[in-house]
Amino acid sequence: MTTTVAQTAGIAPAVWSALGTVLDPELDEPLTDLGFVSRCEVTPAGEAHVQLRLPTYFCAPNFAFLMVADAYDAVAAVVGVRRAVIELIDHFAAESINRGVAARAGFLGTFGDEAADELDDLRADFLRKAVLAGTDRVCRAMIAAGVADVAGLTMGDAPENGDRERLRARRRELGLPHSDGDPLVIDPATGAGVDQAGMRRHLGLARLTRVSQEANSGVCRGMLRARYGEDDQP
């Protein structure tokens, strides 16, 4: 299966860009980069039709629901889109998820007694992990470049690059300090800066989180290629 992006009056590229802001909550990567978008078309009437696919038939339904719901919100917000249709395919809970997202029923409203609660806490947990992984990316590069001690440094002291802005964005989403004058290394559970005594342990946890996240990403990409017989990403 290959990803198709149909062009309609310039709206389809905007829809594709919007999908690029939707992340796999566990991997902290865009669905478009991961190859999870298999179809993206916009009709002349302004209806956006998007199909999402996942690496396995039994991917966790709460993760899948977050991605489908976020994709709906992103696509529906595109100027010129009059109706968004987001369809998860080849998944055991696809019918329920698609119906629930289309009805804006929420996770509880979709799965009823099978769901313990809405997914806000789960999303926050993954964002905290993304902050840890992002901290490792930023600090590891700085240490490799010769920075002897990152304790006491601020966000503004980090090199201005994609990794820093990605970290800033995740902290902003969690409501954590993220301005240039805020500490570079913080505890994502509290927002407090990490002192010198706790820095080694914190950076070790950040590195472990980043390695785990990237390993899972590699596994998911491999399983997706094996499932759909593709050797490249769209």
Q: What is the radius of gyration, based on Cα positions, of the chain?
A: 19
Domain boundaries, the chain: 4-117, 120-216
Q: Write the pLDDT tens digit of every residue in 3-24.
A: 555 555 589 999 999 999 999 9
Q: Residue 233: its pLDDT value, please?
A: 47
Biggest CA–CA distance in the chain, Å, is: 61
Half-sphere exposure of 87 (CA within 13 A, CB side): 12
Query: CATH top-level class for 4-117?
Result: alpha beta
The pTM of this model reads 0.91
Residue 41 β-bridge partners? 49
d(CA 99, CA 105): 9
Identify the segments of the chain with pLDDT beneath 50: 1, 232-234
Q: Write the pLDDT tens digit of every residue in 39-76.
A: 999 999 999 999 999 999 999 999 999 999 999 999 99
Structural tokens at position 69:
């719901």
Q: Residue 128: its pLDDT value, please?
A: 98
Structural tokens at position 5:
């992006």
Q: Residue 6: its pLDDT value, please?
A: 53
Residue 30 β-bridge partners? 23
Q: Residue 113: its pLDDT value, please?
A: 87
Alpha carbon dihedral 22, 24, 30, 34, in 10-degree steps, equals -140
